[in-house]
A and B are shown apart, each in its own frame.
Chain A
Amino acid sequence: AQTVTQSQPEMSVQEAETVTLSCTYDTSESDYYLFWYKQPPSRQMILVIRQEAYKQQNATENRFSVNFQKAAKSFSLKISDSQLGDAAMYFCAYRREQGGSEKLVFGKGTKLTVNP
Chain B
Amino acid sequence: DTGVSQNPRHKITKRGQNVTFRCDPISEHNRLYWYRQTLGQGPEFLTYFQNEAQLEKSRLLSDRFSAERPKGSFSTLEIQRTEQGDSAMYLCASSLSGYEQYFGPGTRLTVT
Contact = CB atoms under 8 A, between A and B. Distances in A.
Contacts of B98: 97, 102
Given A45-B91, A109-B42, A103 B99 contact: no
A27 B44 CA distance: 18
A45 B43 CA distance: 10
Interface in B78-104: 91, 93, 98-104
Interface residues of B, number: 25
Contacts of B74: none
Nearest to A89: B42
A44 B106 contact: yes
A47 B43 contact: no
Contacts of A106: 42-44
Interface string A48-74: 001000000000000000000000000
B103 A44 contact: yes
Interface residues of A, number: 25
A112 B78 CA distance: 34
A47 B93 CA distance: 11
A100 B55 contact: yes
A46 B101 CA distance: 9
Contacts of B41: 108-109
Nearest to B102: A47
The 9 closest A-B pairs by CB, nearest first: A106-B42, A101-B56, A45-B103, A103-B45, A44-B105, A101-B55, A91-B42, A106-B43, A108-B42
